[in-house]
Amino acid sequence: MIAGIHQHHYFPWMGYMDKMAKSDVFILLDRVQLTDASYMFRHQLLAKNGEKKYITIPFQKKGYMDRPYNELEINTAVDWQTRQKNFIWDNYRRHPYYDQIWAEIEPIFTEKYDYLWQVTDASVHIMRRLLDVQTPLVYQSALGETEGKKSDYLIQLLRQVGADSYLSGNGARKYMDMQMFADAGIRVVYQSFKLPEYPQKNTSVFVPGISGLDVLFNCGIDETRRIFWENVRAGQEEI
């Protein structure tokens, strides 16, 4: 059984969803520490001028480095939902599938949320539904206590879900102890993913690596699923 492991991301990009789709089970790290430069509280979309812009969920910063992700509270002094709703309207309303996709994501900007993870978790589930990714999710907080760092920590999580293979991102090569995985009887497979290009409005040069919402607004649900799953199947041949 192949397991993927990742933190929550806000409206994840296609590479994140590709890893989930290629896993038999996907562990969401909801008890780790937030990383400032990550997509655990923000992501990028394209503005009308073709530049990448962040949409960000503000959270209470006091003591956040000493608290797990699922305990971080949203900063309610900032009306982030209205700001993001206005940004999406201003920059995506003329896209071919704006109405279709807005109807799917609108609850993110109308529901009341107290914690950061609640928003990002809801966004992950929306992306799963829109892309028809049915991989079971397991939350770190629902598993037993784990100790150690890096490779040892991952191995303990993998054992708890009964995985014998770990689907890793390529960026993890620099810190993973391959001998530890071999001794634990866990095969490590690196994700093979190349973002397929798709028509993007407001830019003449394809802009990769942004939120998966962009392809959905440009291509719609059916075509995005086709693009996504063709790419998944091509990459699965290397697993």
* β-bridge pairing 2-7 and 25-29: parallel
Confidence of residue 174 (pLDDT cuts 50, 70, 90): confident
State the pTM of this model: 0.95
pLDDT above 70 for 238 = no
Q: What is the pLDDT of residue 239?
A: 61
Q: Both tokens of residue 63?
A: 């003591």
Indicate the domain borders of the chain.
Answer: 2-236
- CA neighbor of 53 nearest in space, from 94, 18, 84, 7: 84
Q: What is the mean pLDDT of residues 219-234?
A: 96
Average pLDDT over residues 213-222: 98
Q: What is the mean pLDDT of residues 221-226?
A: 98
Count Cβ atoms below 10 Å from residue 185 Cβ, excluding itself: 9
Half-sphere exposure of 68 (CA within 13 A, CB side): 10
Pairing of strands 2-7, 187-190: unpaired
Give the CA angle between residues 135, 46, 104 to the nearest 5°.
Answer: 45
Mean per-residue pLDDT of the chain:
94
